[in-house]
Structure 1
Amino acid sequence: MEQKEVQIMVLIATIIVIILAVSLIFFFSYFQQKKTTFLLKQREIQQRFDEEITKSKLEIQEQALQNISWEIHDNVGQLLSVAKMQLNILQLKVSEEQRIKVQETSNIVGKSLHELRGLAKSLSPDTIKNKGLIESIKLEIERFNRLNFINSSLKVSDEPYNLSNEKEIILFRILQEFCNNTLKYSKAKNLAIELKYTGNLLEIYAEDDGIGFDINDTSKQEGIGLLNMKSRAKLIGGTIDLKSSKNNGTKLYISCLK
């Protein structure tokens, strides 16, 4: 009888241990699940916060560019227009020899006015919205070539389609950042941009034949520009890859879903 009681006690103890073990496993699993959910939620909140900060920065930048565009077009442009008009009037009151010099000066002022208005358009988000991505890039390429900054080209493959205004503005700003770095620092002679429309994916290639730079050095302007480009691409779910090597130029690749 005692042996039977011992067996029963052992069985009961075993059941209790099993129940405790299962309970511990359950609670541990439940705790881990809650912890994972909490961490994922925190990461999501942080990601949304970072995106909002980036969006706010971009909105401020776009507003600043819009203001600069207005200032150039309305104020500086108006002053140059008045200067050109006064030079034209002056032509009628001077000698033939001086008239030629005044005419040359008037032509320079006219060209400056034309280029400033072109620059104002490239800075304005409204221009990109109205003209679209391809036409906006074309205007930049034409401006570079007209001013003999660099030999630039644009190639569009397959059948183009429109993206949302937000995507087109961001993609244009990324390319603008790349082009500005090329013009300022690369000492490149050639710049080539290609837009490849395949299905629902837009792929953009940009390449210069400049001196290149260290993409890991974020203390330089080119490195800062790369961080800006990556932040912008992330907002539209795009991917970006930048490669640069000494004396072999810089290559930019962007992909973005329709």
Structure 2
Amino acid sequence: MISASVFLNINNVPEKELVAIILYISLFFIIVAVALIIFFYFSRKKIIQKELEKIELILRYQKEQLHAIIVTQEEERKRIAQDLHDDISSKLNIVSLNTHLLSAPNLTESETAEITDNIINLTNKALDNSRKIAHNLLPPVFEKFGLHAGIEELCEEFESSKSVKTHYKNEIDFHDKDIDRHLHVFRILQELMNNSLRHGKATQIWISFFYNEGINTCNYEDNGIGFDGSNAENQKGLGMKNIDSRISFLEGTIEIKSEINNGIAVNFTF
């Protein structure tokens, strides 16, 4: 009954009005379709734009990390070259001069003995300095016995300055097969400790390694002068960029907290 009534009503509608209704309905659907197309187009464009911005940020971050690594490597090369020139080269030059003096005529026995002693002393000093340079590149203890022993020696070296006390605790069994990755952890701690001593004027340093939900975690703290952690510029130095690049290589995370006159607290995973 209802469908028949509707059919009769449609039949009673004048042809022009029916055409107008059909056109309006068609126009409505066309407008809706166009609106949907425009909406999806701009939505898709916005999504693509955000993805491109995200990729650009990632590439910029990777570029900054690469730049930090390159600059750090260049600085390290300059330091090594300076050490070789100032310590090793200069001492070997003096050894060479003393060696030529031994060939001089009419040398007394005491003069010969004195020149020989000078050569031996300078050679020993050159050897000691060359060992120190090699030690800075890759500590022998770290290479032979791993990260745990390397950190223990690092703490002992800092304590030998008599200006800082270190507290080291480890609950992780470091595997020898990961020594290449562990070297990055060692360098991160080395950088943090250098900053604590040089910039933070710290007298106490705490280092602890432990598992946190199956993830290797390190907590690092000092009692130094600290800095304004809310100022992002304070975390953009070359040393921090170097640390960030190493954390990225380790596929870990890092969180740094600090307040003026309240030391620094660093938590990183690897």
Compute the TM-score of the two structures, normalised by the length of structure 2: 0.67
> How many angstroms apart in 2 are the aligned matches of 1:7 and 1:202?
75
- 1:37-56 to structure 2, matched below 5 A, reads 37-56=48-67
Structure-2 residue corresponding to 1:98: none
- 1:106-255 to structure 2, matched below 5 A, reads 114=128, 117-118=131-132, 120-122=134-136, 124=137, 130=143, 132-161=146-175, 163=178, 165=180, 167-197=181-211, 201-217=215-231, 224=237, 225-226=239-240, 228-230=242-244, 232-255=246-269
> How many angstroms apart in 2 are the aligned matches of 1:179 and 1:81?
33
> How many angstroms apart in 2 are the aligned matches of 1:191 and 1:57?
26
Deviates more, 1:192-201 or 1:226-235: 226-235
Residue of 4, 16, 23 corresponding to 2:27: 16
Query: What per-residue deviation string (whole Å, max 9, x for no partner) do you get for residues 196-245 of structure 1?
Result: 2457522111111223322245666x763445534543454322122223
Change over 3 Å in CA distance of 1:45–1:168 after alignment to 2: farther
Query: What per-residue deviation string (whole Å, max 9, x for no partner) do you get for residues 114-137 of structure 1?
Result: 577446523x26979946544443
> Is 2:218–2:268's contact at 8 Å kept on the other side of the alignment?
yes
Q: What is the letter of the counterpart of residue 13 of structure 2?
A: Q
Change over 3 Å in CA distance of 1:250–1:120 after alignment to 2: farther
> How many angstroms apart in 2 are the aligned matches of 1:187 and 1:147?
13
Cα shift at 1:2: 7.5
> How many angstroms apart in 2 are the aligned matches of 1:69 and 1:138?
24
> How many angstroms apart in 2 are the aligned matches of 1:15 and 1:244?
66
Q: What is the letter of the counterpart of residue 213 of structure 1?
A: F
Q: What is the letter of the counterpart of residue 62 of structure 2?
A: E
Q: What is the letter of the counterpart of residue 56 of structure 1?
A: H
Unpaired runs of 5+ residues, structure 1, are 87-91, 95-101
- 1:69-108 to structure 2, matched below 5 A, reads 69=80, 71-72=82-83, 76-77=87-88, 79=90
Report SS of the residue matched to 2:13: helix
1:32 aligns with 2:48: no
> Is 2:65–2:244's contact at 8 Å kept on the other side of the alignment?
no
> Is 1:243–1:250's contact at 8 Å kept on the other side of the alignment?
yes
> Is 1:128–1:136's contact at 8 Å kept on the other side of the alignment?
yes
> How many angstroms apart in 2 are the aligned matches of 1:160 and 1:197?
12
Residue of 6, 13, 16 corresponding to 1:3: 13
Number of residue pairs aligned between Structure 1 and Structure 2: 239
Q: What is the letter of the counterpart of residue 211 of structure 1?
A: I
> Is 1:69–1:121's contact at 8 Å kept on the other side of the alignment?
no
Q: Which has the larger radius of gyration?
A: 2
Structure-1 residue corresponding to 2:104: none
Change over 3 Å in CA distance of 1:250–1:57 after alignment to 2: closer
Change over 3 Å in CA distance of 1:186–1:238 after alignment to 2: same
Q: What is the letter of the counterpart of residue 144 of structure 1?
A: F
> Is 2:165–2:204's contact at 8 Å kept on the other side of the alignment?
yes
Change over 3 Å in CA distance of 1:219–1:21 after alignment to 2: closer
Structure-1 residue corresponding to 2:114: none
Change over 3 Å in CA distance of 1:134–1:81 after alignment to 2: farther
Report SS of the residue matched to 1:192: strand
> Is 2:66–2:245's contact at 8 Å kept on the other side of the alignment?
no
Report SS of the residue matched to 2:208: strand
Compute the TM-score of the two structures, normalised by the length of structure 1: 0.69
Q: What is the letter of the counterpart of residue 160 of structure 2?
A: R
